[in-house]
Amino acid sequence: MLLQIEQLETFYGASQALFGVDLSIAKGEVLALMGRNGMGKTTTISSVFGLNPAKRGKVVFNGTDITKQKPYKIARLGLGLVPEGRRCFPNLTVNENLLASARHGEWTIEGVRKLFPRLEERGQQSAQTLSGGEQQMLAVGRALMTNPELIVLDEATEGLAPVIRQEIWKAIRALKNTGQSIIVVDKTLSELLPVADQCVILEKGVTVWRGTPDNLDADVQERYLGV
Ligand code: ATP
C-alpha cells in the first residue's frame, strides 16, 4: 500500500473530530474520500499531512510511519496537498509560485503549463490577481511541481465556474492516466465516481463504507451522502 490509515483519532483541542478513520490506497489508484459536510474529510487530510496530527491510530506512507511526523518532512517523503481554499502565495507571480515548490522529478514547469495552458499566459501575474479557477490550477500545479507520489485534492472544484470545473476534471483524468496516485474530495459525484477506483465514506469521523464506485448504489448514496 502507498498510504495506509488505521483507526485515526484526531482532536481540535478537547473536541474529538475523528473517531476511527481507516483507508488505504495503492500506487496508481484514485480514491474518492466522501461524506457530508463536517464528517471529517478535511481533518483526515490534515492528520495525514501532519497539520493536525492524530492522537491515536496510525498513518503509514510508503512503509514509513508518519503519524507524528512534521509537515515539511511528510511533504518531502512525496505527499502533495492541494488544500481547500487553495492558498497560493498571493504576492508571488504564477511562475514564482510554481518554481518555489519545485523538486526534482518528471513534473517541470513546462509539464504544468501543458496541463494548464492558462498558467503560461498568466506567468508574470501575481497569484492574487488570478480568478478562483486559475488559483486552483496554480494550486494543483504547485503540488505537482513537488513531484508527489500521492497528490491530495481537498474540494477539488468547489466554488468554481462550470467551465473551469471541467478543466480541473480533465486534468485529474489526465493525471490518472499517467498513473498518478490521487485522493480527491469533491461533491460532484457525476464527475468524481467515473474517475475513482475506490470510495471511502466518512460519517461523524468514522469510516462507514468502503467500496468501488459500482457498488455505491442509490441506497448508500442516500444513507451517507444524501441531503
Ligand atoms: P467540509 O466539507 O464541511 O469541510 P469535512 O468532512 O471536511 O467537511 P471537517 O472539516 O474535517 O469535515 O470537520 C470534521 C469535524 O471537526 C466537524 O465536526 C467540525 O466542526 C470539526 N472541526 C473542523 N475544523 C475545526 C476547528 N478548526 N476547530 C474545531 N473543530 C473543527
> Is 73 a member of any domain?
yes
Is residue 23 domain-resident?
yes
CB 3 within 8 A of CB 60: yes
Per the CB < 8 A criterion, the answer to whether 28 and 21 are in contact is no
From atom 16 of ligand 1, which residue's Cα is the shortest distance away?
A: 17
Domain count, the chain: 1
What's the CA-to-centroid distance between 116 and ligand 1, angstroms?
A: 31
Q: Say if ligand 1 is within 6 A of residue 35 CB.
A: yes
* CATH code for the domain in which residue 200 is found: 3.40.50.300
Beta-carbon contacts of residue 37 (< 8 Å; ≥ 6 apart): none
- Which of 43, 154, 158, 202 most suits a substitution to test ligand 1, by most atoms within 8 Å of the C-beta? 43
Q: Is 85 in the pocket of ligand 1 (CB under 6 A)?
A: no
Taking the C-alpha atoms of residue 215 and residue 24, their distance in angstroms, rounded to an integer, is: 18
3-state secondary structure of 148: coil
Asked whether residue 12 is domain-assigned, the answer is: yes
Which phi-psi region, left, alpha or beta, contains residue 48 (left: φ > 0; alpha: ψ -120 to 50)?
alpha
> Tens-of-pLDDT digits for all 227 residues of the chain?
999 999 999 999 999 999 999 999 999 999 999 999 999 999 999 999 999 999 999 999 999 999 999 999 999 999 999 998 878 889 999 999 999 989 999 999 999 999 999 999 999 999 999 999 999 999 999 999 999 999 999 999 999 999 999 999 999 999 999 999 999 999 999 999 999 999 999 999 999 999 999 999 999 999 999 86
Residue 203 falls inside a structural domain: yes
For ligand 1, is residue 52 a contact (CB within 6 Å)?
Answer: no
Q: Considering only CA atoms, which of 134, 12, 159, 11 is closest in space to residue 84? A: 159
Q: Is 0.75 surpassed by the pTM of this model?
A: yes
CA 214 – CA 194 distance, rounded (Å): 9
Nearest to residue 189, comparing CAs of 152, 161, 227, 151? 227
Q: Residue 212 corresponds to which cell in the numbers above?
A: 468501488
Residue 179 domain flag: no
Range of the domain at 197: 1-78+185-227
DSSP state letter for 223? I
**What atom of ligand 1 comes closest to residue 40's alpha carbon?**
11
* Distance from the Cα of residue 45 to its chain's centroid: 8
In-domain check, residue 197: yes
**From the CA of 1, how far away is ligand 1's center (Å)?**
27
Does residue 169 lie in a domain region? no
The grid cell for 36 is 457530508
Establish whether residue 39 lines the binding site of ligand 1, counting it when its CB lies within 6 angstroms of any ligand atom. yes
Q: For residues 20 and 205, is the Cβ–Cβ distance under 8 A?
A: yes
Could you identify the atom of ligand 1 that is nearest to the CA of residue 205?
14
Q: Are strands 64-65 and 56-61 parallel, antiparallel or unpaired?
A: antiparallel
